[in-house]
Structure 1
Amino acid sequence: MKFTHHEDQPSAANNLREKMKMILILAIPAVIENFFQTTLGFVDTYFVSKIGLVEVSAVGIANALLAIYFAVFMALGVAANVFISNFLGANQQEKAHHIAQQAIIMAVFIGILFGVITLFFAEPLLRLMGIAPNVLEAGSVYFRIVAIPSVFMSLMFVLSSILRGSGDTKSPMIVSIVINVVHALLDYAFIFGFSFIPALGFVGAAWATVIARILGTVGLYFYIKRSKTISFKKKYWKIDWKHQWELVTMGSPAAGERLVMRAGQVVYFGFIVALGTNTFAAHQIAGNIEIFSYMIGYGFSTAATILVGQQVGATKFDEAKHYAKLCTFLSVIFMTILGVFLFFFGGWTGTFFTTDTKVLEEIKVALQVSGVFQPFLAFVLVLTGAFQGANNTKFPMYLTAIGMWVIRTLFVYLLGIRLGWGLLGVWIAIGLDIFVKAIVLWIKFTKGQWIISKTDSKKDPESKCHPQTSKENMSCCPNNY
């Protein structure tokens, strides 16, 4: 019985509890995984900050470009996650197996391609940021080490998404915990030296990251091989161009969304660099602290993508909407609590990275602004995941493009540079972008204009396959291609 039926209140209450339990079962491991993934960047920044602020900026600039690579890898992961959850929700397990293996093939190809691009164009790409020569030299060394073996980054994103799409968020969590513990130990040993290991400085941080990603790839592959839901079959390793195109079609808008965001980020990073190396270092440190708040949003976003995807695959659109709402409101509660912490104690966390009083003050101001916008960030992250689970990857892309270029980048320049508000203006601009996106996503969601059936057509905008369509009319929405 659906939760929307009120004639049997105890059953409705039990249904709600079961749904919340299911969300937490999926979200909590994803939150823990995100936490340990986040510590990978946090540990790098913490240890590198002990060397100097130039090195912090170099790693930050390299990671800003690396985020563009992540955008493509994550988009492929989103496509794999959505297709697998849709197929499993429709009880089409063989199709889930097939698309999973095709996603791995594409991940290998894309990873190698980005590695080659890094090998030949690392410095020209970094010069686009307009950074100082000393930062460029250090950044190019770090960037080459971590990005030439991009195939391991690509595989980690896709293998994790395959497991999540099958409803397994625990295995990626376990792998994340293990590799981040290993990463932290290697970071310390390689950066500062230990026993027979020489001190490599910030270069050591790069090598520690690469080794951790290799171990992560092996671990995730091991868990997939053991999975009862997703298993590899020899016949599915042959390239299937139809499935490859479907992955591209589904993943391209998600990639576009992230690429638009990263491209805009490169531009406004250039504005921040113009404010000075120390200000950019403060921005980078604040970002590494604030990103811990994202782990909650992304955890519930993961749950939303899986559950919405399964319900859409089973053509249970009302259930999909209810799961999306619950995921959103749970995330808002947790992220609001974290926002309060950032507002009152965020500045204190900056003392772990630097003793420079000016930099510490800028970190404090940035995190106070971030704390205010945390509830709206919860809406953006979780509803984006819900839209993707509902096969709607285009709308978040359009919204991100408008938000990044019309609001964020423009207001970073106006508030941060023209009005001279510095880092305060930068973070207010980021907050305004988040606020507008949250409002627009919620309006679109509440109006029921967020689910796209696989049978939807541009020629038939009034398709009966609408989220509000009754069960009796769902026969028009087949679960196959």
Structure 2
Amino acid sequence: MFIFGVGFIPQLGVTGVALSTAGVRFIIMIGLFIILHKRMTEPLTIKEFFSYEKEYASKILAIGVPSAGEILSYNVSQIVLTMMITTLGATALATRVYSQNLMSVLTVFSLSIAKGMQIYIGQLVGARKQTDAYHTLFVGLKYATIITIIIGSIFALFGRQIFGIFSNDPNLIQLGAMILVIELLLQPARTGNLVIISALRAAGDAVFPVMVGIAVMWGVLVPLAYVLGITLNLGLVGIWAAMLVDEWIRASLMFIRWKKKRWLGKSIAANKLS
């Protein structure tokens, strides 16, 4: 309605996309507040929404601020990659947009499991059940990876047909199909990053993922993307190959971190403070 204009609503184009997105998110926020109010045994008062508890705020910020740093670094690196892709032409940029939207379907499942794991592992760590928390991570990681591989395989197998829905350009369809194959190899690592990093945060080990993320994104991803995509003229495929290397390096380091239980000291220290 906002993009093309319907009835009294004018044709707004891209501005319409922004307005509809913002409007829907506002409605969702109101809905979540209503659910929160109904689920709590002792609903929060309006005053409590604006009160400041230093003890709780410091604990939340100790995890939230580093987490924001990693997400910020990732988003900025993606902006830099997009700048590189714009130099490759309209076909590469359009393929990037379509591919990202398709991959968001895969990420939904991994992210959902990661959020659930973060809550559950946080409860286990808080109850001083570190051993249970350690083994629980692998259960969630297994299911998230299996689901991602199944859906990713379908996307890779029918890549041409999927991109044919969005465009008649044979170059875009061929390029998009190649990207989906690379994504099939990339998704297990991305799933591992989402699930394990969420678990590390729940265990109080929030700084390590940030340090690794910043180092690998800017030390490997961005330079390698430029070399493969621009210097060696591999285009979008080269940039996606750099993303593949980045995700697997970070996922491997996160897995080793959890496997060696380096996060245990963080969770024990957090329990002592509480």
Give the TM-score of the pair, scaled to structure 2: 0.92
Partner of 2:143 in structure 1?
330
Residues 63 and 201 in structure 2, CA contact (< 8 A), matched pair in contact too? no
Flag structure 2 segments of 5+ consecutive residues without an equivalent.
none
Comparing 289-298 and 372-381, the one that deviates more: 372-381
SS in 2 for 1:238: coil
* Residue 357 in structure 1 maps to residue 170 in structure 2: yes
* Residue 309 in structure 1 maps to residue 128 in structure 2: no
SS in 2 for 1:231: coil
- Equivalent-residue separation in structure 2 for 1:293 and 1:429 (angstroms): 19
Give the letter aligned to residue 200 of structure 1. L
* Residue 424 in structure 1 maps to residue 237 in structure 2: yes
Partner of 1:455 in structure 2?
269
- Give the CA RMSD over aligned residues: 1.8
Residues 347 and 364 in structure 1, CA contact (< 8 A), matched pair in contact too? yes
Flag structure 1 segments of 5+ consecutive residues without an equivalent.
1-188, 457-476
Please show how residues 200-279 of structure 1 align to structure 2 within 5 Å. 200-229=12-41, 231-233=43-45, 236=48, 237-279=50-92
Residues 119 and 202 in structure 2, CA contact (< 8 A), matched pair in contact too? yes
Q: Note the C-alpha offset of 1:403.
A: 2.0
Please show how residues 323-472 of structure 1 align to structure 2 within 5 Å. 323-451=136-264, 452-453=266-267, 455=269
Q: How many residues align structurally? A: 272
Offset from partner CA, 1:30-68 (integer Å, 9 cap, x none): xxxxxxxxxxxxxxxxxxxxxxxxxxxxxxxxxxxxxxx
Residues 160 and 173 in structure 2, CA contact (< 8 A), matched pair in contact too? yes
Residues 339 and 375 in structure 1, CA contact (< 8 A), matched pair in contact too? no
Comparing 260-269 and 411-420, the one that deviates more: 260-269
Give the letter aligned to residue 224 of structure 1. L
- Equivalent-residue separation in structure 2 for 1:315 and 1:230 (angstroms): 26
SS in 2 for 1:190: coil
Q: Note the C-alpha offset of 1:207.
A: 1.4
- Equivalent-residue separation in structure 2 for 1:267 and 1:197 (angstroms): 36
SS in 1 for 2:246: helix
Partner of 1:106 in structure 2?
none
Task: Name the larger-Rg structure.
Answer: 1
Q: Note the C-alpha offset of 1:415.
A: 0.5
- Equivalent-residue separation in structure 2 for 1:230 and 1:290 (angstroms): 40
Residues 229 and 239 in structure 2, CA contact (< 8 A), matched pair in contact too? yes
Q: Note the C-alpha offset of 1:230.
A: 6.4
Q: Note the C-alpha offset of 1:436.
A: 1.1
Q: Note the C-alpha offset of 1:334.
A: 0.9
Q: Percent identity?
A: 27
Give the TM-score of the pair, scaled to structure 1: 0.54
Give the letter aligned to residue 198 of structure 2. G
Offset from partner CA, 1:340-386 (integer Å, 9 cap, x none): 11221133222232222222222111111101222222211111111
Please show how residues 26-41 of structure 1 align to structure 2 within 5 Å. none
- Equivalent-residue separation in structure 1 for 2:137 and 2:182 (angstroms): 27
Residues 416 and 422 in structure 1, CA contact (< 8 A), matched pair in contact too? yes
